[in-house]
A and B are shown apart, each in its own frame.
Chain A
């Protein structure tokens, strides 16, 4: 069994009049699962654990690790752009010498109504995966410990900050590919569902019109549903309804401009989620700024 330290911070509860609510440091129970010697920390209204896709590692071969959040019903954490309120989870890795952690990958979020605001985040269960690259040589090292300090905000009507120090010890097995862990299928499923670059055949344009942006997407097929998640915080009004007008070759989406829109905007960057639930990363040039250079999509460039 491996030691783990986990703790979370919660504001004091109760409504005693006039009493300052001190921040209580609550020691959280640590759970250990047998396989992969993973640690899980109980935070407010959910748990987070550090998991890997393989049960052992070797030098020079990258592998997937990730933060798996399981949240109580109704509670959510945030996407990389949290929307109108909140803040995305943050991880600080402490890895053995020569190891390098890639960035967290963010699955497609959902829109979450929060009073009059709209946030972007995750409910129930989500895995935020990251690739870990071991060094070219591990010498005589038999096992390595991955450590992650995670800070996140969990919300449902109210928000609570949380923090966990997670660790995971993995054996080093030379020349043998690591066996899939119990989490392999979750990693595979999560990777398959991550947002992809928009297909090159798509043609995208944005026409500013009054207080709206008309995002026109030609996918070649009729599309019945689409939701846009902005990557830039101040381009579109998060809480505004997004109206979809289907066409035989795609759709047009009406987005309300943000009050904070830096004027004028050159392109809209974000995720477009279609009826299938698949998210696509798009960068759509805004009309006034369209030029050969701005068209990121090669087929679009040819078409001009």
Chain B
């Protein structure tokens, strides 16, 4: 049993890494597993959430594109809506120490409280390992993984690549659309879009 699981894990990792090496992740392919710590020192893996939809949201609180979705309350609304429907929502911070958006666990926990943010957890990724594994380019950059571990969405949060809060009302939100379709048993109509925002502040 252990052997089978180990093999499966190794294959998942290999497949994930091969996919990354060959080409960016393709929707429909297996999402690479990861291990990351949240702001309460709890370790999360993707594999332990099999059976649930998982959203990954790349975050930098000082990026004007991220601010658009937090100051307006749009991101918090999405987090509340989808986590209440059983979706696991990970906010990921890949800013390296000294770079914009880098947060200690305490700083991030205060921010979550003050912004009334409601992700399942915030994963701290100062090494950028998780960001590079998924090819996260911008903040925000959104990924959705199906209960069977397949990547079903990779792209922007919506179709208005601006910093203007007023655009949220008329934007088409790709993440909500994809989750609504997937939860209704339908095919995701837009599985890929262009992520927009600030560059992820990885270590140089």
Contact = CB atoms under 8 A, between A and B. Distances in A.
Interface of A: 11, 17-21, 23, 82, 84-87, 114-117, 151, 153, 155, 157-161, 211, 233-234, 259-260
Given A160-B64, A260-B194, A115 B164 contact: no
Nearest to B196: A85
The majority secondary structure among interface residues of chain A is loop
Nearest to B197: A85
The majority secondary structure among interface residues of chain B is loop
Contacts of B106: 17-18
29 contacts: A11-B67, A17-B107, A17-B110, A18-B107, A18-B110, A18-B114, A20-B115, A23-B67, A84-B137, A84-B138, A85-B197, A85-B198, A85-B199, A86-B198, A87-B161, A87-B162, A115-B199, A117-B138, A153-B64, A155-B198, A157-B100, A158-B63, A158-B100, A158-B198, A159-B198, A160-B64, A234-B194, A260-B192, A260-B193
Given A17-B107, A153-B163, A161 B64 contact: yes
A106 B23 CA distance: 33
B71 interface: yes
B136 to A, nearest CB: 10
B62 interface: yes
A117 B64 contact: no
Given A116-B202, A233-B194, A20 B62 contact: no
Interface of B: 23-24, 61-65, 67, 71, 99-100, 104, 106-107, 109-111, 114-115, 137-138, 155, 161-164, 192-194, 196-202, 204
Contacts of B204: 115
Contacts of B199: 84-85, 114-117
Nearest to B70: A20
A259 B194 CA distance: 9
Contacts of A20: 111, 114-115
Contacts of A234: 194
A21 B194 contact: no
Contacts, number: 77
Given A85-B197, A259-B23, A159 B64 contact: yes
B138 A158 contact: no
Given A20-B114, A85-B138, 10 more contacts: A18-B109, A20-B111, A117-B137, A155-B198, A158-B63, A161-B163, A233-B194, A234-B194, A260-B192, A260-B193
A166 to B, nearest CB: 18
B115 A115 contact: no
Contact of B163 (A87, A114, A117, A211): A87
A11 B23 CA distance: 36
Contacts of B99: 157
Nearest to B192: A260
Nearest to A237: B24
A153 B155 CA distance: 21
A66 B100 CA distance: 33
A151 B166 CA distance: 13
A233 B156 CA distance: 13
Nearest to A233: B194
Nearest to A152: B163
Contact of A259 (B24, B197, B200): B24
Nearest 3 CB-CB pairs, A to B?
Answer: A18-B110, A115-B199, A259-B24
